[in-house]
Structure 1
Amino acid sequence: MVKRKRALGGALTLAVAVGVAVGVSAGNDVLRRDAATVTAAGSTAAESTGAAGHARLRELLQRLTTVDGGPGALVEVRNRRGSSVLTSGVADVKSHAPVRRDSRFRIGSMTKPFVATVVLQLVGEHRVVLDAPVERYLPGVVRGHGNDGRVITVRQLLQHTSGLPDVLTYLSPQEILKDPLAHHDTRDLVNIALAHPPTFKPGHGWRYSNTNYLLAGMLIENVTGHPYGEEIRRRIITPLGLRETYVPGDASAIPGPHPRGYVRPGEDAPLMDITAINPSIAGPAGEMISSGTDLNRFLGALVRGRLLRPAQLREMMRTRPTGNPDGRAYGLGLESRPLPCGGLYWGHGGNIFGYETAGGATVDGRQATVMVNLDPGGSDAQDEDMKAAVQTALCEARPAS
């Protein structure tokens, strides 16, 4: 899911005041000392990225774990010749354990490309029609306050052109943090959003809304008769051998090696440990867990046509501008951005309490994923430095001319 970091600062301060903190760091000076070392781990091909690229990546990772305030960070870069992993900082601010190269993170809205891929597979199987109304698949669900599933299409859900209000606008972070292990029903989350009017007429604007993907997950379940997570496992995780990727449901633990996840309640405040949380608060909009290795494999397979038929992949990559000055454009659960070295890359980002992820892939076989164990509470530069790390990695992983 995508959160507004500045807005959450005050809410999280309130959460601390009412005694919600799960754990607290020993202090920012410890973080800065431990983050100063950036290590390369497990490179399977030294030529995967050039020396200059690794130097720039090390600089960006060090920024993420010092200036930007994150405890730890990881980047995995992959091309056809192999992969390499760089890490910085710590996985645990108490033990000072380093970030492992095979770490799992909560990936937030990076869940959305998985959900969109399943919906588009159903389109390829003639079980869903992209430009059919949502009402056909979720009768009576999208109703009230000007929201109407009879005039919103499946395509508009996946592309954030539905105009449906974003549930995150109406969720109180302090209430979530009072009981971080509570179950949240997807239909209840949708109803919270639908109690408010749409932001624009369907098809007449673009605005990111997590409500769209809560509904997309419900659509998958109604069409297939199985939970959306089961369909992701059957159609994507198992065929690609993604051994470090999970759709956790109500499970609050992260399987396998993982860094602790932290939030910073306010500027210069100690960190809160929010590793254990029931991710049903995000559901199909952002609950998944994965690793840099698995996300690179998934994105590479997706953009190179291993998961979708050509017609559906073309629809996924048919973008519309978002108004972002960096040239970001949004397709169906997948966004494109221009690379500084030329061309485009395809990917997504994701935020959820404790973790932030950004990743991208090119159609010629390059992938890069960056992960940090802090959200919200990093500096305003954290997002930009993560994007810069993805772009640097992809540019330096270009095949030799």
Structure 2
Amino acid sequence: MKPLAKDVETQLDSALDGVCRAGVPGVFAEVRQGEQVWRGASGVADLETGSPVHPGMRQRVGSITKTFVSAAVLRQVEKGRIRLDAPIGDHLPQLVPGERGRKITVRMLLNHTSGLAEYLPYAFPSLKELAPESLDDNRLREFRSVELIALGVGAPATSEPGSTPGVYSNTNYLLLGELLEHLTGTTAEKHIADDVIGPAGLTGTGFPDGPQIEEPHSRMYEALFGRIDPPRDYSVYNMSWVMPGAGLISTVEDLNRFYGKLLAGEIVTPSSLEQMQRTVPVIAQDGRTLDYGLGLYKTETPEGVFWGHDGTVWGALTMSWTRADGGRQFSAAMNLVRWSKPGAVPHPIDDALATLKHEALCGHP
């Protein structure tokens, strides 16, 4: 691997520093342009000790996990074990019973057009008032996916199955985790590790088997839209509350490798990738409207269309973007999230992140 041009690296280093100056304790990233690679880090991993972040740290990557789940499901489609337009009730009638199970398809779960509500406000009731008690009460709780799914299925539907815009819901991906287990006879986490993560050569990626991250990592500071002040560390957390939807741990290097291989047709077939890139409008949890496919979505820049995903869990934000031709990649991780109060004017962090993303996606070697 070769370094990027010196002036580009300087701009990227400056953009990372800008994110920290705006208020994020620590941020690290990797940019790839063909054979050229830049890795950088700025700030601290621990506010108490002042230990620095570094680019090789592990990170809870949140909903980036959904792309891995989607790839695993598409590989089952390729083997003829499931159809994208098969009703989920044909396979999991006990979880989505009756007419709903006959109307909601696997594709609708993957692209968030099922109409199934998000279970999080029911599993974490204090979130309805943006209060942090539920985050602390559930720190070490072991949830069962089927109980969380029942909360989402039992809640009022957000829309009719298949209608757009879709509404982003983790209930969809917990159901896909149960579907993978039904099809393969093993847990979704083990199957994804064996069928996607291992063959892709991702040595720093996996699902946790406990509440701690064993490898070097940052602490994770949650602000909950300004309701936790100062932000609180949630790096030790039982991820059973969202495991198949957002539980994965990875590195910025592995994320670039994964999305590069995915868009090159090395993880799923080109026809499966085409299905993954068929987008519909989906309303995200933060109110944005996404051009969402099957477990990934696109962002358009002056340098072309990029595909990927972002994700948050308590205290961590991660993003990963790869240009459609695979020629430019950017993954970044940071240890503070939900820094702005609802309805507040844009925070300096928002502007600093926009600058970093522009430099990473549109800068020239």
8 A contact 1:88–1:98 mirrored in 2: yes
Cα distance, 1:245 vs structure 2: 0.6
Equivalent residues, number: 348
The answer for the alignment partner of 1:339 in structure 2 is 301
Aligned-residue Cα RMSD (Å) equals 2.3
Aligned ranges 1:1-400 → 2 under 5 Å: 44-47=1-4, 50-67=5-22, 69-143=23-97, 148-170=100-122, 171-172=124-125, 173=127, 174-205=133-164, 206-249=166-209, 251-264=210-223, 266=226, 269-322=229-282, 328-341=290-303, 343-362=304-323, 363-377=325-339, 381=347, 382=349, 385-386=352-353, 388-396=355-363
8 A contact 2:310–2:320 mirrored in 1: yes
- Which digits, 9 at most, give the CA deviation of each residue in 1:284-320, with x for residues without a partner? 1101100100011001111111001121111001112
Q: Secondary structure at the match of 1:255?
A: coil
Range moving further from structure 2, 221-230 or 317-326? 317-326
- Which digits, 9 at most, give the CA deviation of each residue in 1:330-354, with x for residues without a partner? 110010110133x200000000011
8 A contact 2:45–2:219 mirrored in 1: yes
Distance 2:203 2:326 in 1: 24
- Which digits, 9 at most, give the CA deviation of each residue in 1:219-258, with x for residues without a partner? 1000111111111111122112211111114x11112111
Cα distance, 1:358 vs structure 2: 0.8
Name the amino acid aligned to 2:363.
Answer: E
Distance 1:268 1:166 in 2: 23
Cα distance, 1:122 vs structure 2: 0.4
Percent of residue pairs bearing the same amino acid type: 36
Cα distance, 1:387 vs structure 2: 5.3
Cα distance, 1:101 vs structure 2: 1.7
Name the amino acid aligned to 2:183.
Answer: V
Distance 2:283 2:154 in 1: 27
Q: Secondary structure at the match of 1:149?
A: helix
Change (3 A) 1:140 1:267: closer
Distance 2:234 2:340 in 1: 15
Distance 2:289 2:7 in 1: 26
Q: Which runs of 5+ in 1 are unaligned?
A: 1-43
8 A contact 1:100–1:257 mirrored in 2: no
Distance 2:240 2:351 in 1: 28
- Which digits, 9 at most, give the CA deviation of each residue in 1:350-371, with x for residues without a partner? 0001110011111233211011
Cα distance, 1:271 vs structure 2: 2.6
Q: Secondary structure at the match of 2:108?
A: helix
Change (3 A) 1:320 1:268: closer
Distance 1:273 1:176 in 2: 11
